[in-house]
Amino acid sequence: MQVHGQSIFFAVVVATILCPIADAQACSGCGCRGGPGYRGPKGRCVGWSDIGRTCGDPPTTHCSAEGPNAGADEAAKADLKAIEAGKPKANSAK
């Protein structure tokens, strides 16, 4: 029975060492944790709230796709529309 106990202990030690390595490799690159999946021009992953402002429309205008998620193109368009809506008109009289 002593050999069986050592085998289980060895298996637990190996699993404890290898599991974090497998988790780190499973999620790599922009978009693997729920973001839009684009890397901005400054080298950081772009968030949903600023994908249009940072990347443009389409997002590949200024960013590189690493794992694009569904809805990233639409979010970029919506973000740009919101930015445009907030800008003052050139010929607006006050």
pLDDT tens, position by position, 52-75: 999 999 999 999 999 888 889 998
Q: Cβ–Cβ contacts within 10 Å for residue 55, how many? A: 27
CA–CA gap between residue 94 and residue 92 (Å, rounded): 7
pLDDT tens, position by position, 19-51: 555 555 678 899 998 899 999 999 999 999 999
Residue 16's pLDDT band, with cuts at 50, 70 and 90, is low
- What are φ and ψ of residue 65, in 5° steps? -80, 130
Domain ranges of the chain: 30-86
pTM: 0.61
Q: Spell out the alpha helix ranges (H) of the chain.
A: 2-26, 51-55, 72-86
CA–CA gap between residue 55 and residue 35 (Å, rounded): 13
What is the pLDDT at residue 24? Answer: 53
